[in-house]
Structure 1
Amino acid sequence: MPRRWFAFTGRRAAVPEEKASRAGPLIAWTGAGRPAWTPRDYGALAREGYQRNPFVHRAVRLVAEGVGQVPLVLTEGGRELDAHPALDLLARPNGRDTRTSLLEAIAAHLQIAGNAYVELVAVDGRPAELHVLRPDRVRVVPGADGWPEAYDYSVGGRTLRIPLAAERGPAPVLHLSAFNPLDDHYGLAPLEAAQVALDVHNTAAAWNKALLDNAARPSGALVYSGPQGLSDDQFERLRRELEEGFQGARNAGRPMLLEGGLDWKTLALTPREMDFVEARNMAAREIALAFGVPPMLLGIPGDATYANYQEANRALWRQTVLPLSARIAEALGGWLLPAFGDGLTLAPDLDQVSALHGEREALWRRIGAASFLTEDEKRAAVGYGPRAAAERGTRSWT
């Protein structure tokens, strides 16, 4: 996959060698080979889940696009900042991505792989560009104490080691991982937890497709009505032909040519008894459960957990999107902001989330009617700093 490195205006001529990514020279190479970085293969999960299963695809997109839509607010000493180099970096992390696409990629990798890696390109110790790395190309290198001391980035049969220790500024790589009770370095993705349901759903779909391709005929039994039993050679030949030509989803429903003395007796369950549709819906609900997405939002029929789509959408944002957004913002802020100064924090701006406008409006009314609270206490209750700090900032608050 080709990579892109765009220098900021006026800087490329001065320090071209300091602007290049350590992993950049490797990314132009393509070829076979994929490092195994978790017990389950990332490529297989991405193909079977995100690329082939519509419910996984939609669940990942709902969560990732929601995280990308959440505005981030930068505060310093209780006051919000409208203009700051850190905000400029997040708004345009590199020559290709925007803040939205950067956050979407991080959230999507966490959903599919359980891990997300962000590479920092620095100029004179100051953060200049951010790039999201594919999780299957990154491997943690533990040190003597067991904690990570470097990351190996592999592509096209070549490997580059990126030490975590930086001479100045933040570490060159930020690693975000979902909680994994059985691994010290790699996270557990929701897609891994949903793998059984994913296999059931995909297999049921493949079986149904095979039946449709072969006239939807069920299986049965061969009954021999000849004067004497089959010889060993005849029995083995018949068994081999059945296994090779009529067994498995690929051969489901294929017509069979019977020899003398053989009779076909249908034994398979009817489609109603097998009830593939309900089995697929149950597997789809389990997939939605693993990703924290209300089944109603994925179009799964027969689920009446939520009264309406508005409640389901609010549950998605409150229980899944906002916690993930807050975690990503906290990780990015703790990693990058110390390079820009002390006292800076990065967090989601809940007042700008359209899905929460009803809740925020109700909160503002309740807090505004609380006469026993001071003005600064009311501001703190809705997530703002003291008025004196806000008046020193560049953003007004009314």
Structure 2
Amino acid sequence: MSFFNRLLGREERAVIKSSDPYLGEFFGQRNGGSGYTNPERASGLSVANACISIISQNLSAVPCNLYKRTDNGGRDKSKQHPLYGVLQNSANDTQTSFEVREMLLVSLLTSGNAYAEIVWNAKGQATALKPIATGNVAAERLNSGRIRYRVSQPNGSNKTLVQEEMLHLRYRLGPDGVTGLSPIQIARETFNLALSQNDQAFKLSDKGFRPAGALVFPEALGREAAQALKAGFREKFIGAANTGEVMVLDGGAKFEQISFNSRDSEFLESRKLSNLDICRAFGVPPTVAGITDNATYSNTDQESRALVVRCLAPMARRIEQAMNAALLPPMARKNLFIEHDLAGLLRGDLKARYEAYRIGREWGWLSPNEIRGWENLPEIEGGSEYLTPLNMTAINDRETETNDEEA
């Protein structure tokens, strides 16, 4: 603002325009009356914790393999590469692959970002992943377009990592193009409502779920007497520990109960709706998260498959592409790639699997050794042969047989 505008009192205040929820909360900016949602409190809700655990544990439990493309268009596991052991067994000297992958996924779902320092050997191969807490990392884009990461150390110093030294996972790319947004930030009003309902339930529990009421006296009481009576009544009868106490009133006093409870205000129904909204925010089917109000045998099985197709598969693809770009140099990406094996989550029960194996075996696209490998059984001699149905032959073979018969 210029000097003359300040002199004449024509002051103009700029409106905060920032996608950073922390900055908006600091200046008092709120969205829809809810403002910034604390990810730690929001992820502590039972349904939110269930959704985060389901996604992180299921996706960390499935194999994350390093494959090498073959000349015939197939793939082989690149077990000799150091990165294969990082993804399968030990991510570093002190943490297993499952622990690191689970930690990264939990951070991704709660804060929208997950970081891990990459350790390289002299051959340009990733040999370890060291996860870093999201709150200790500040990402910034340089003028060159590259991203630099400033990491806070436990001793108070800072460490700078370049783009090639950091594995950065993002849930949904934010407006700045550098950091990600979590489901809690995107659906913050839903989580704020659920937190408010949780606080209200705690207050009702603290009062022993007693409805509100009024002490009615035939004559007026003084202010001090009324306050003392109210304090004594609250100390004696209010609270879960005082439930069941005998109430004795004298002086013509009557206690009139106000008929207000959780069901009358549809409080329980609103909490159920909030739980469903949280499941929608994470993309987890309700029955998988433990909400079984409308569960049946058929829809439970279908929702278990929907979890893999609609939730885990997109999340796996997001992580695979980030890992391929960060853990494999450009030349290595021509032959190597990282991919999750989600087939085990879609095979179904024993009967369904064996029926699928039978069809694949009889129609000739599965061999016994391939089937045994999926069931964690060793290969057998001659188990790599494929069957061909008698009524199905190649066109050239049919022409040859026809010519032989005519001759």
Range class of TM-score, shorter chain? 0.5 to 0.7
Question: 1:127·1:339 contact (CA, 8 Å) conserved in 2?
Answer: no
Which of 71, 75, 79 aligns to 1:80? It is 75
Deviation at 1:213, TM superposition (A): 4.4
d(CA) in 2 for partners of 1:130 and 1:43? 30
Deviation at 1:205, TM superposition (A): 4.2
Which of 43, 48, 55 aligns to 1:56? It is 48
Using a 3 Å threshold, how does the CA distance of structure 1 residues 155 and 285 change in structure 2: closer, same or farther?
farther
* Residue 384 of structure 1: aligned partner: none
Using a 3 Å threshold, how does the CA distance of structure 1 residues 217 and 325 change in structure 2: closer, same or farther?
same
Using a 3 Å threshold, how does the CA distance of structure 1 residues 196 and 306 change in structure 2: closer, same or farther?
farther
* Residue 167 of structure 2: aligned partner: 174
Question: 2:115·2:132 contact (CA, 8 Å) conserved in 1?
Answer: yes
Deviation at 1:217, TM superposition (A): 1.2
1:214-252, Cα deviation, whole Å (9 max, x unpaired):
33211234667536x967x889x68x979x999x99999
TM-score, normalised by the number of residues in structure 2: 0.64
RMSD across aligned positions (CA): 4.5
Per the alignment, in what secondary structure is the counterpart of residue 84 of structure 1? coil
* Residue 120 of structure 2: aligned partner: 122
Question: 1:93·1:131 contact (CA, 8 Å) conserved in 2?
Answer: yes
* Residue 226 of structure 1: aligned partner: 219
* Residue 321 of structure 2: aligned partner: 330
Question: 1:194·1:290 contact (CA, 8 Å) conserved in 2?
Answer: yes
What does 1:302-317 align with in structure 2 at a 5 Å threshold?
Answer: 302-304=293-295, 307-317=298-308
- Supply the AA of the counterpart residue of 1:89: V
d(CA) in 1 for partners of 2:192 and 2:156? 33
d(CA) in 2 for partners of 1:188 and 1:61? 19
Using a 3 Å threshold, how does the CA distance of structure 1 residues 328 and 262 change in structure 2: closer, same or farther?
same
1:299-346, Cα deviation, whole Å (9 max, x unpaired):
213235983322111000000111111221221122112277351342
1:252-311, Cα deviation, whole Å (9 max, x unpaired):
999999997986543351332134332222111111111111101122132359833221
Using a 3 Å threshold, how does the CA distance of structure 1 residues 342 and 272 change in structure 2: closer, same or farther?
closer
- Supply the AA of the counterpart residue of 1:133: I
Question: 1:43·1:136 contact (CA, 8 Å) conserved in 2?
Answer: no
What does 1:296-307 align with in structure 2 at a 5 Å threshold?
Answer: 296-304=287-295, 307=298
1:193-218, Cα deviation, whole Å (9 max, x unpaired):
44444444444444444434433211
Question: 2:113·2:179 contact (CA, 8 Å) conserved in 1?
Answer: yes
Using a 3 Å threshold, how does the CA distance of structure 1 residues 59 and 224 change in structure 2: closer, same or farther?
same
Deviation at 1:103, TM superposition (A): 2.3
Q: Does 1:318 align with 2:309?
A: yes
* Residue 30 of structure 1: aligned partner: none
1:7-51, Cα deviation, whole Å (9 max, x unpaired):
xxxxxxxxxxxxxxxxxxxxxxxxxxxxxx8638999422x233x
- Supply the AA of the counterpart residue of 2:283: G
**Structure 1 gap ranges (5+):** 1-36, 166-170, 379-395
Using a 3 Å threshold, how does the CA distance of structure 1 residues 251 and 199 change in structure 2: closer, same or farther?
farther
What does 1:1-398 align with in structure 2 at a 5 Å threshold?
Answer: 39=22, 44-46=38-40, 48-50=41-43, 52-73=44-65, 74-77=67-70, 78-82=73-77, 83-85=79-81, 86-91=83-88, 92-124=90-122, 125-144=124-143, 147=145, 149-156=147-154, 158-164=156-162, 171-221=164-214, 226=219, 264-304=255-295, 307-338=298-329, 341-348=332-339, 350=341, 352-356=343-347
Using a 3 Å threshold, how does the CA distance of structure 1 residues 43 and 210 change in structure 2: closer, same or farther?
closer
Question: 1:42·1:136 contact (CA, 8 Å) conserved in 2?
Answer: no
Using a 3 Å threshold, how does the CA distance of structure 1 residues 43 and 275 change in structure 2: closer, same or farther?
closer
Question: 2:308·2:345 contact (CA, 8 Å) conserved in 1?
Answer: no
- Supply the AA of the counterpart residue of 2:53: R
Using a 3 Å threshold, how does the CA distance of structure 1 residues 42 and 152 change in structure 2: closer, same or farther?
farther
Question: 2:54·2:289 contact (CA, 8 Å) conserved in 1?
Answer: no
Using a 3 Å threshold, how does the CA distance of structure 1 residues 250 and 214 change in structure 2: closer, same or farther?
closer
Using a 3 Å threshold, how does the CA distance of structure 1 residues 202 and 305 change in structure 2: closer, same or farther?
farther
Per the alignment, in what secondary structure is the counterpart of residue 172 of structure 2? coil
d(CA) in 2 for partners of 1:221 and 1:348? 65
Identity of aligned residues (%): 22
Deviation at 1:175, TM superposition (A): 1.4
Using a 3 Å threshold, how does the CA distance of structure 1 residues 126 and 347 change in structure 2: closer, same or farther?
closer
Deviation at 1:56, TM superposition (A): 1.5
d(CA) in 1 for partners of 2:306 and 2:217? 60
d(CA) in 1 for partners of 2:332 and 2:146? 26
Using a 3 Å threshold, how does the CA distance of structure 1 residues 356 and 219 change in structure 2: closer, same or farther?
same
Per the alignment, in what secondary structure is the counterpart of residue 298 of structure 2? coil
d(CA) in 1 for partners of 2:91 and 2:331? 15
**Structure 2 gap ranges (5+):** 1-19, 26-34, 367-383, 387-407
d(CA) in 1 for partners of 2:139 and 2:267? 42
Per the alignment, in what secondary structure is the counterpart of residue 115 of structure 2? strand
d(CA) in 1 for partners of 2:148 and 2:249? 65
- Supply the AA of the counterpart residue of 2:177: D
